[in-house]
A and B are shown apart, each in its own frame.
Chain A
Amino acid sequence: MKKQGMILIVDDTEMNRSLLADMLSEDYEILEAANGVEAAAILHQRSEELSLVLLDIVMPEMDGFEVLALMNKNGWIGRIPVITISSETASTYIDHAYDLGATDYISRPFDEKNVQRRVRNTIMLYSKQKALEGMVTEQIVEKERNNFLMVEILSNIVEFRNGESGLHVLHIRTLTEIFLRKLQEITDRYPLTAARSALIVNASALHDVGKISIPEEILNKPGPLTPAEYEVMKTHCALGAQIMEDALLRHKEELLQVAYNICRWHHERYDGGGYPDGLRGEEIPVEAQVVALADVYDALTSTRVYKQAFPHGVAMRMIMGGECGVFNPLLLQCLRELGPRLDDELRLRSLNDVSEANIRELSTQAIAGSKVSNRTLTLLEQERTKYQFFASMSNEIQFEYSYQSDLLTLSEWGARQLGLNVLIEHPEQNGELHGVFLIADYLDLQGRLRRATPEKPIVSGTYCLNVKGERRWYKAVARPLWEGNGTEQAGVIGKFVDDHEEQLRLEQLRRMAEQDSLTRLNNHAAARRWIQMALAREDRSYAMVLFDLDNFKEANDRYGHMFGDEVLKHVARLVQKSVRGGDIAARIGGDEFLIFLEYSGGIEPVIRRIFDALHGEYQSFEILISMGIALSPENGTQYDAFFHAADQALYVAKKGGKDRYRFYDDSMQGVLSVLSPMDA
């Protein structure tokens, strides 16, 4: 059998040790020490392994008190429980041992069962405590949230059974919150902390919990209740209070106390004519007063099995006219001052509060199928809260989309950043959204998500968003969420991360890769790519101009390479100046340049102008050039042929005595080329 821990028995009498060992060795590994000194030695070596110390007090060398003192000094006492054993029953002994941190004591004569039980309980208590310590922090944080969820689920069970709209609980919460806030505004008679107010709002959802014990046929009776049935119905207050009272026996929670007050007294009247206790005026706790008003207002403005919904105005008149009970004048003042805003706010919140709706859906599921345990719900809610928390902390635009509701939810920060609403219904048709995220891009991302598979779920892409009038690059990462069986997509989650700087950097790199480092003109490969793209378009006329410097070798030879480089840079500047925006200029070799331009009408004057512009002096070094020109489509529609023609024209120009330009013509076919054939 597996041992459940290691116990150190410290007693100077061998017989006592072996008797204890005999009683415990079946379940535990036993170490023995005949006095305090031996015990100290073992503690020093094996304190990590020990689960418990059984310690005799009266011993030679070093007695039990001294061992306890040592265990305190070394911090072992907090982790290793000590049970003292002694035939000394004098309370001073026992007290002293407790003062020094002993957990329990066993007196002689040993009773096997007693010894075993105490040892087991103490070890369990300590290991539990250790585990608990780790959980306590988390628990404190989660307690409130769990309370909230518990309340939601419980109250929804009642709703469900009640067959009411399902919004009642949500309305009560909202109304209670609004009334409480207003009440604080107009009077300081009911000083409530924010925490207390939150508790009241939370507990308000539980006001009708007692109805869970009301027979179905009375609860859902479509017609008016008989006096006898009404009496049964009225018991729901006391029944609900009883539920809270029972719970209070087990958990001293402020929430439960508040819920008790609300459950029991939300049908009391300010004039003392209510039930179950006939409390009057301020005898009724303020939370019950507020919930009573919320309950009446919602009952009037909602459809019930026994009545139609009244409009806000009618409900107000009925309440003010005292037709629905007697309320605290201050609360009526709240109601009056809130007026029609109440109606708006109620509708607004009911629509927008997605999380509440989610919880309702979950709890309905739980009741209907009993498939989802409360634990699962709690975990779900925790995950959601965690997600929202981190979303609110991180500067990312996070989003969530549900196919079923066709609702796009943005993280708060994200929505603010983009200048959009947090909730976007029917995003595909939302103009505001597409002002930011182009419809083409939207459909692109949507398509890619549709095609994602559970094996390869992550989709990413770079999109340019229009953020408050500025176009910025974002990297989108998203994934679909599948229904349980993995065949149908239920929704999408993802985020947009500002990638603008990164994109600009890439752009820069791309440009650098395309540039000639000396002159900042395009390099040949880049020029070729651009030209190919241009040639692909039909019905256009292009000229390709190739030129080189007639005397560049001289510049290098006479003034050195540095000077030669400066000459090239100078020529590049001249080229830049002489071409238009859409033209392409490139340095394609040592002193060889390319200009590609679109033209219409006569080309000769254009070439003449460029040829002239490139002439001149650089620091008294005279720049002379030879130039060959080919035209497209006449001399070629594909890059290679086109380039080759211009190259041959350049060869002919050089052959003809330099410092001139020549257009390609058919006579040049077969002549050599100046430039090493790049693509031949």
Chain B
Amino acid sequence: MTTAECYALIGADYTEVLRRMGNEDRVRRFLLKFAEEPSYGLLCRSVEAGDAKEAFRAAHSIKGVCLNLGLTALYRSAGDLCEELRGGAFTDAVPGLLRRVGEDYQKTINGIRELAQA
């Protein structure tokens, strides 16, 4: 599986990422690295712990990383959650947004794992 095919699988724009990042090797390295990125774990833990501020920063991190890697779907859902948490409190909308982030995250990670195994 190529990096391009992986991006297609995840549903993200590879051409744009390649242009920005400069070369395929870098895109691939950082995409694989995303699987070990701790922000999603941090997000889940801070939600469980009821720490809205920490959850905001974690969502913010996911959003930033996904923006850089061109992981469009996860960037959008993490961004929405981030805006909801900016106020520093868990609002009614948070659980729904969180669930969407989870789904997009899983989809992304699955794609990346396939790339790693290929």
Known contacts A58-B57, A60-B57: does B22 contact A108 (CB below 8 Å)? Answer: no
For the complex formed, measure the closest distance between the CB of A131 and the CB atoms of chain B, giving whole angstroms. 31
Q: Contacts A12-B57, A58-B57; is A87 near B22 (CB within 8 Å)?
A: no
A-facing residues in B17-65 (Cβ within 8 Å):
17, 19-22, 26, 29-30, 33-34, 37-39, 54, 57, 60-61, 63-65
Whether A109 contacts B37 in the complex (CB less than 8 A), given A13-B61, A58-B57, A87-B63, comes out as no
- A18–B36 CA distance with the chains assembled, in angstroms: 13
What is the bound-complex CA distance between A59 and B39, given in angstroms?
13
A85 to chain B, nearest CB (A): 9
Residue of B nearest to A115 (CB): B20
A58/B67 contact (C-beta < 8 A), A15-B33, A22-B26 known: no
Say if the beta carbon of A132 comes within 8 Å of chain B.
no
Return B7 CB to nearest CB of chain A, in Å. Answer: 14
Known contacts A13-B39, A14-B37; is A110 also within 8 Å of B20 by CB? yes
**Inter-chain contacts of B29 with A (CB < 8 A):** 22
Residue of B22, B37, B54, B63 near A15 (CB, 8 A) is B37
Interface membership of chain B positions 63-93, coded 1 if the CB is closer than 8 angstroms to chain A and 0 otherwise: 1110111100000000000000000000000
Asked if residues B26 and A87 are in contact (CB atoms below 8 Å), the reply is no
Given A13-B39, A113-B22, the answer on whether A108 and B33 have CB atoms closer than 8 Å is no
Is there an interface contact between B67 and A87, defined as CB atoms closer than 8 Å? yes
A112 and B57 form a contact (CB under 8 A): no
Min C-beta distance of B68 to chain A, whole Å: 5
Whole-angstrom distance from the CB of B56 to the nearest CB of chain A? Answer: 8
Are B33 and A18 closer than 8 Å at their CB atoms?
Answer: yes
Instruction: Determine the interface band of chain A, counting residues with CB < 8 A from chain B.
Output: 10 to 19
Identity of the chain A residue whose Cβ is nearest the Cβ of B34 in the assembled complex: A15
How far is A60 from B34 in the complex, measured between Cα atoms in Å? 21
Chain B residues closer than 8 Å to A113, beta-carbon distance? 22
Chain A residues near B69: list those with CB within 8 A.
Answer: 109
Is there contact, CB below 8 Å, between A15 and B20?
no
Q: Min CB distance, B62 to chain A, in Å?
A: 9
CB closest residue in chain A, given B33: A15
**In the docked arrangement, what's the CA distance between A60 and B55, Å?**
11
CB distance from A11 to the nearest CB of B (A): 8
- A110–B33 Cα distance when bound, in Å, is 17
Are B22 and A16 within 8 A (Cβ)? Answer: no
A318 within 8 Å of B by Cβ? no
A16 near B64 with CB under 8 A, answer yes
The total of Cβ contacts below 8 Å across the A-B interface reads 54
Q: Is the CB of A109 within 8 A of B67?
A: yes
Residues of chain B contacted by A22 (CB below 8 angstroms): 26, 29-30
List of A residues within 8 angstroms of B22 by Cβ: 23, 112-113
Q: Enumerate chain B residues within 8 angstroms of A108, measured Cβ to Cβ.
A: 64, 67-68
A111 within 8 Å of B by Cβ? yes
Please give, as numbers and ranges, the residues of chain A lying within 8 Å of B37 by CB-CB distance: 13-15
C-alpha spacing A654/B30, complex, angstroms: 123
- Chain A nearest CB from B52 CB (Å) reads 13
Does any Cβ of B come within 8 Å of A513's Cβ?
no
Query: In the docked arrangement, what's the CA distance between A659 and B17, Å?
Result: 128
B44 to chain A, nearest CB (A): 16
B84 to chain A, nearest CB (A): 15
For residue A86, give the distance in angstroms from its CB to the closest CB of chain B: 8
A19: CB under 8 A from chain B?
yes
A112 to B68 CA separation, bound complex (whole angstroms): 10
B20 near A109 with CB under 8 A, answer yes
A19 to B22, CA, bound (A): 12
- Interface code A16-37, partner B: CB below 8 Å = 1, 0 otherwise? 1011001100000000000000
In the complex where A12-B57, A13-B64, A19-B68 touch, is A112 in contact with B33 (Cβ < 8 A)?
Answer: no
A15 contacts B60, C-beta separation under 8 Å:
no
Nearest to B53 among chain A residues (CB) is A60
Q: Once the chains bind, are B61 and A110 in contact (CB under 8 Å)?
A: no
In the assembled complex, which residues on chain A have CB atoms less than 8 Å from the CB atom of B67? 87, 108-109
B65 touches A112 (CB 8 A): no
Partner of B65, one of A15, A23, A60: A15
B63 touches A112 (CB 8 A): no
A87 x B57 contact (CB < 8 A): no
Report B23 CB to chain A, min CB distance, Å.
9
Which residue of A12, A16, A59, A112 is within 8 Å of B20 (Cβ)?
A112
A493 → chain B closest CB, angstroms? 62
Question: What is the chain A residue whose CB lies nearest that of B79?
Answer: A87
Q: What residues of B have a CB within 8 angstroms of the CB of A110 in the complex?
A: 20-21, 68
Please state if B20 and A111 are interface contacts (CB–CB under 8 Å).
yes
Give the shortest distance, in Å, between B29 (CB) and chain A (any CB). 8
Docked-complex contact B57 and A109, CB < 8 angstroms: no
Does the CB pair A12–B68 fall under 8 Å? no
Q: Which of A14, A58, A59, A109 contacts B68 (CB 8 A)?
A: A109
Q: Measured between alpha carbons, how far is A23 from B29 in the docked complex, in Å?
A: 13
Give bound CA distance, A111 to B19, whole Å.
8
A514 to B65, CA, bound (A): 97
Q: A87 to B20, Cβ gap below 8 A?
A: no
- Cα A15 to Cα B32 with chains together (Å): 11
A109 touching B70 in the complex, CB below 8 Å, given contacts A15-B30, A15-B34: yes
Tell me, rounded to whole Å, the shortest Cβ–Cβ distance linking B83 to chain A. Answer: 11
- Cβ–Cβ < 8 Å partners of A109 in chain B: 17, 20, 67-70
Q: How many angstroms from the CA of A16 to the CA of B57 in the assembled complex? A: 14
- A60 to B42 CA separation, bound complex (whole angstroms): 13
Q: Which residue of A lies closest to B16 (CB)?
A: A109
Closest CB-CB distance, B37 to chain A, in whole Å?
A: 5
* Residues of chain A lying within 8 A (CB to CB) of residue B61: 12-13
Contact residues in B for A59 (Cβ distance below 8 Å): 57
Q: A residues within 8 A CB of B17?
A: 109
Given A111-B20, A112-B20, A112-B21: A16 in contact with B60 (beta carbons within 8 A): no
B19 — which chain A residues lie within 8 A by C-beta?
111
In the complex, how many angstroms separate the beta carbon of B81 from the nearest chain A beta carbon?
14
Q: Which chain B residues lie closer than 8 Å to A15 at the CB level?
A: 30, 33-34, 37, 65, 68
**A150 CA to B8 CA, complexed, in Å:** 65
Q: Is the CB of A16 within 8 A of B65?
A: yes
A589 shortest CB reach to chain B, Å: 104
Question: Within the assembled complex, what's the spacing in Å between the Cα atoms of A110 and B57?
Answer: 19
Chain B nearest CB: distance from A47 CB in Å? 27
Question: Which residues of A are found within 8 Å of B21, using beta-carbon distances?
Answer: 110, 112
Name the residue among A23, A59, A60, A109 with the largest chain B CB count within 10 angstroms: A109
Which A residues have a C-beta under 8 Å from some C-beta of B?
12-16, 18-19, 22-23, 58-60, 87, 108-113
A108-B64, A108-B67 are known; give 15 further A-B pairs, CB within 8 A: A12-B61, A13-B39, A14-B37, A14-B38, A15-B30, A15-B65, A16-B68, A19-B30, A19-B68, A22-B26, A60-B54, A87-B60, A112-B21, A112-B22, A113-B22
In the A-B complex, the 5 residue pairs with the smallest Cβ-Cβ separation, listed nearest first, are A112-B22, A108-B67, A111-B20, A109-B67, A13-B61
* 25 A/B residue pairs, CB under 8 Å, sorted by A: A13-B65, A14-B37, A15-B30, A15-B34, A15-B37, A15-B68, A16-B64, A16-B65, A18-B33, A19-B68, A22-B26, A22-B29, A22-B30, A58-B57, A58-B60, A59-B57, A87-B63, A87-B67, A108-B64, A109-B17, A109-B69, A110-B21, A110-B68, A112-B20, A112-B22
